[in-house]
Structure formats: C-alpha cells, structure tokens
Amino acid sequence: MSADRQPITAPDAPAAVGPYSHAVRSDGFLFLSGQTPLDPATGVLVAGDVGEQTRQCLRNLEAVCTAAGASLRNAVRCGIFVTDMGTFGEVNTAYAEFFPDAPPARSTVGVAALPVGAQVEIDAIVALGD
C-alpha cells in the first residue's frame, strides 16, 4: 500500500453500505466512492424523481469532498450509473446545476439495478490543490 494513500470518512455523508471508504486521497487526487441518493440524516432513499435523486447523490459527494478539504467543483471525472437510460435528460438537467461551467469529463452507464433501489449512483475523481 502506498504511503500516499489516505482513506476519508465523511461524517455528513450517508454511512457506507459496504466495506469501502467514502473516498481515498492519493497523489494529488481524491477518489470518491459512488454515492446513492440516501439522506445522510436518516439513511433512507430520498423521495422524488431521478432529478432529485441525482441532486442528492451530488450533495453527498460534496459532503465527502468537504470532509477531505476539497470541493466537487474541482472534479475532473464523474461516473453516472442509471437504471433507466430514458432518464438521461433529467439526470443531465440536475447534474448541470452542480457544474454550470467547465464540467468534468463524464460517463453515463445504464445498469440493471443499484443498491437500496436507487435510480442513480454517481462517483467522482477530484483534483486537489497544491
């Protein structure tokens, strides 16, 4: 294991639902685990459409960034997983609210199912300042 590998636990993000870290800081980057749209206060899936679920995923990612002293605005790549590619437009609209200028590189992948019955999950890689 690299000496430059620091696991991050975010107290304001939902608890991990498996054996993984919220994020790992390494070599000038923050690698964030996928976030589902869980309410951090209750641990329950947020109510609402896929747009609201997308916003909650991104709020959760921002909470992880904050715990690491970083900002989601410095994301260089995001991965989005959706259970219905027909929601692509709604996901894009919500996503654009968080990245109005110079959005990060991104992929969107359709999957059969996601944890906790979520419609969307998002992970990210964030560049850290010097």
Residue 91 scores a pLDDT above 70: yes
pLDDT at residue 130, as a whole number: 62
Interatomic CA distance for residues 62 and 117, integer angstroms: 22
Give me the DSSP letters along 81-116: EES-GGGHHHHHHHHHHH-SSSPPEEEEEE-S--GG
As a whole number, mean pLDDT of residues 74-87 equals 98
pTM: 0.96
Q: Name the amino acid, one letter, at 29.
A: F
Amino acid 6: pLDDT: 97
Are 88 and 108 in contact by the 8 Å Cβ rule? The answer is yes
The predicted pLDDT at position 106 comes to: 98
